Amino acid sequence: MPTPPYRQIADDLRRRILDGDLPPGAVVPSENALVEQYGVAAETARRALAVLAAEGLTEARRGSGTRVRSFRPILRQAGKRLAAEQWGSGRSIWQADLDQRPMTVDRATVAEQPCPARIAESLGLEEGAAVWVRDRRYLVEGVPVMLATSYLPAGLVAGSAITRPDSGPGGTYARLAELGWAPVAFREQVRARMPLPEEAEALQLGAGSPVVLIVRFAFARDGVPVEVNEMTLDASRYLMEWEFPA
């Protein structure tokens, strides 16, 4: 069972990319070039390039060419407790942009809706109970990087700024604190998979970019759940970090 030609070509190109022979931004040989170079049919060359695109290593633009993608992630830090001066080593295997690029929001919608079943259970509500739903899309340097939908029990937040698009300084959690429901603990559940078409469209994902799904549960005193936040991240743009004691 010899590896088929399209796979061999893909392996060649992949090694050139990983070796740095084809650095980020470099132009990958075109379909026609591969046809000549390897003596295969156009469709076979096309398949080879499709493999790399599916792995997220390259990005093709019709009419222009195929280029090597770069990975320059945004650092998302959760549960940051460790002082930088003392715990400085172990900084980053993958260098991430520590200088925070500003994150902006577009497409924000806020509405009162009946609670979906899966959320209701987490919030300790009945299915269909009223919740305020805050839906947002976040951009960094103009490109969408994250979708977030958070659910808050209407009984807790009715009348507050949480029910308005601009929740004010400090955001939702500051308002919750003013209402006497300051979050004291968080639980985040994380998984990764390939995006659905609507997710790929909303995040402008190229082929081969997985998404990371994070569901954050926020708890106030006595373990009262006050928020569930479902986030969808472009995995190719994020480096996530959690810290916790032994």
Interface residues toward DNA, by CB under 7 A: 1, 4-7, 28, 30-33, 40-44, 46-47, 49-50, 53, 60-66
φ, ψ of residue 109 in degrees (nearest 5): -130, 140
Assigned token pair, 119:
């959320």
Decide whether 32 or 113 has the Cβ nearer to DNA: 32
φ, ψ of residue 51 in degrees (nearest 5): -60, -50
Q: Tell me how far, at minimum, the Cβ of 191 lies from DNA, in Å.
A: 25
236/7 Cα distance (integer angstroms): 24
Decide whether 101 or 187 has the Cβ nearer to its own copies: 187
In the list its own copies, DNA, none, the entry touching 73 (Cβ below 5 to 8 angstroms by class) is its own copies
For 224, half-sphere exposure in the C-beta direction (CA atoms, 13 angstrom radius) is: 13
Assigned token pair, 203:
């995040």
Decide whether 159 or 180 has the Cβ nearer to its own copies: 180
Q: Which of 86, 128, 137, 168 binds its own copies (CB under 8 A)?
A: 86
Decide whether 59 or 227 has the Cβ nearer to DNA: 59
Decide whether 35 or 207 has the Cβ nearer to its own copies: 207
Binding residues among 195-224 for its own copies as defined by CB under 8 A = 195-197, 207-208, 210, 212, 215, 217, 219, 222-223
For 154, half-sphere exposure in the C-beta direction (CA atoms, 13 angstrom radius) is: 13
Decide whether 90 or 142 has the Cβ nearer to its own copies: 90
Choose one: 29-37, 99-107, 142-150, 178-186; the region binding its own copies (CB under 8 A). 178-186
53: left (phi over 0), alpha (psi -120 to 50) or beta: alpha
Please identify which residue in the block is written with the tokens 């209701």.
120
Binding mask 96-115 for its own copies (x = CB under 8 A): --------------------
Residue 82 within binding range of its own copies, rule CB under 8 A: yes
Interstrand relation of 130-140 and 143-153 (parallel, antiparallel or unpaired): antiparallel
Q: Tell me how far, at minimum, the Cβ of 73 lies from DNA, in Å.
A: 24
Distance of CA 190 to the CA centre of its chain: 11
Q: Tell me how far, at minimum, the Cβ of 41 lies from DNA, in Å.
A: 3
Assigned token pair, 99:
């200088």
37/35 Cα distance (integer angstroms): 6
Burial class (CB in 10 A: 0-12, 13-18, 19+), 115: buried
Residues contributing to the site for its own copies (CB under 8 A):
11, 14, 18, 54-56, 73, 78-79, 81-82, 86-94, 118-119, 121-124, 173, 182-197, 207-208, 210, 212, 215, 217, 219, 222-223, 225, 228, 230, 235-236, 238-246
